[in-house]
Amino acid sequence: MFAHRPRRLRQSVPMRKLVAQNRLAPADLILPVFVKEGATQPIDISSMPGVQQHSMASLKTAARDAAEAGVGGIMLFGVPETLDAQGSAGVDPNGILNLAIAEVVAEVGDDMVVMADTCLDEFTDHGHCGVLDAEGNVDNDATNAIYAQMAVAQAAAGVHVVSPSGMMDGQVAVIREALDAAGHTNTAILAYSAKYASAFYGPFREAVDSALTGDRKTYQMDSANRTEAMFETELDIEEGADMVMVKPAMSYLDILRDVANMSTVPVAAYQISGEYAMIEAAAANGWIEREPAMLESLTAIRRAGAQNILTYYATEAARLLA
Ligand code: PBG
């Protein structure tokens, strides 16, 4: 007979639970949400069934629901009515994102961590994450100067964490310096450190009414590259990132493991719009079971090394885990 029978530890629900090496907890989850200027009621996003562009009122309800489910954080994205080449509405204290930050902080700020996307793509009429130079290329340093103002405006609105997602070189350093100079030394930075140019962002473009034509390959990372993710993460930690992120999650679990192994700060991963859409589409067709697929995908991201997971499933998953 064989001495070793690994199946002994798989024979019952309590036994499997006892020896489970990775657990999901509501507090580790972060819910990304979209708020649309001028919306009087939530608007469905067709490529992300169950996810909506919120009105200010429905945003507050979603934030409250998430907090009550024990979700640890909420990440805000703004969808403005007016776009321009500079993305001015992102910096404006009365812009939709900054107004939403103040409202959400007032609603749930004592119960969960309020974060905001610190990036220009939702606000520019060309849809790029930065401003363009005379040749139409994204201008790194001019963009950083605007990110700095944007981060300060978000901090002034009360956000707990700013989240630069534009992949400009030096963005974390510039933002940290600006926050400190404005007295916001306690505002944390969650850096999208290893953010890849991905086809799986597709549904997000609908979620934020993006004007982008073309791609983001001159600033986001190439999916073929691995060690570069560690270089990007190292730079961001040196520049003052309090937390780092790998994005997307499911096609980049190897990168997530690499980053988790080397990072000295907490690591997050973002299960993005296309990942959500794929699970939803397959489940809607009866090709996979929705809830087990949802929890398996989140467990895989945890197992690969994410402490925190940004997921459109956050509130629902938190309720299932409670
Ligand atoms: C940039 C940003 C994007 C996402 C989050 N922040 C879009 C992009 O980089 O193209 C994507 C999130 C998702 O797909 O769920 N502001």
DSSP of 232-288, one letter per residue? HHHHHHHHT-SEEEEESSGGGHHHHHHHHHH-SS-EEEEE-HHHHHHHHHHHHTTSS
- Give the mean pLDDT of the chain: 97
pLDDT digits (tens, 9 = 90+) for 26-47: 999 999 999 999 999 999 999 9
Mean pLDDT computed over 246-265: 98
Residue 2 lies in a domain: no
* Ligand 1 pocket test, candidate residues 124, 143, 165, 280, most atoms within 8 A of CB: 165
Cα-flanking dihedrals φ and ψ of residue 228, to 5°? -60, -30
pLDDT digits (tens, 9 = 90+) for 170-187: 999 999 999 999 999 999
Residue 140 lies in a domain: yes
Distance 71 CA to ligand 1 centre (A): 21
Mean pLDDT computed over 61-77: 98
CATH number of the CATH domain containing 283: 3.20.20.70
pLDDT digits (tens, 9 = 90+) for 101-121: 999 999 999 999 999 999 999
The counts of H helices and E strands in the chain are: 11, 10
Does residue 1 carry a pLDDT above 90?
A: no
Mean pLDDT computed over 214-233: 97
Confidence grade of residue 213 (pLDDT, cut at 50, 70, 90): confident
Residue 18 lies in a domain: no
Residue 10 lies in a domain: no
What predicted TM-score, i.e. pTM, was given to this entire model?
0.97
Distance 310 CA to ligand 1 centre (A): 12
For residue 198, the ligand 1 atom closest to its alpha carbon is 10
Residue 11 lies in a domain: no
pLDDT at 211: 81
Cα–Cα distance for residue pair 284/287, rounded to 1 Å = 8
Confidence grade of residue 155 (pLDDT, cut at 50, 70, 90): very high
Cα–Cα distance for residue pair 81/229, rounded to 1 Å = 35
User: Are 243 and 162 contacting, i.e. CB atoms less than 8 angstroms apart?
Assistant: no
pLDDT at 157: 98
How many domains does the chain fold into?
1
- 150-to-29, 130, 155, 164, 247 alpha-carbon distances in Å: 25, 12, 9, 10, 22
Residue 47, ligand 1, Cβ within 6 A:
no
Residue 119, ligand 1, Cβ within 6 A:
yes
281 is in which domain, residue-wise?
23-321
For residue 195, the ligand 1 atom closest to its alpha carbon is 9
Residue 9 lies in a domain: no
Mean pLDDT computed over 49-69: 98
User: Are 76 and 100 contacting, i.e. CB atoms less than 8 angstroms apart?
Assistant: yes
Residue 121, ligand 1, Cβ within 6 A:
yes
Please confirm, yes or no, whether 217 is among the known catalytic residues: no
- The SS3 of residue 32 is strand
Quick one: 264 exposed, middle or buried, by C-beta within 10 A (0-12, 13-18, 19+)?
Answer: exposed
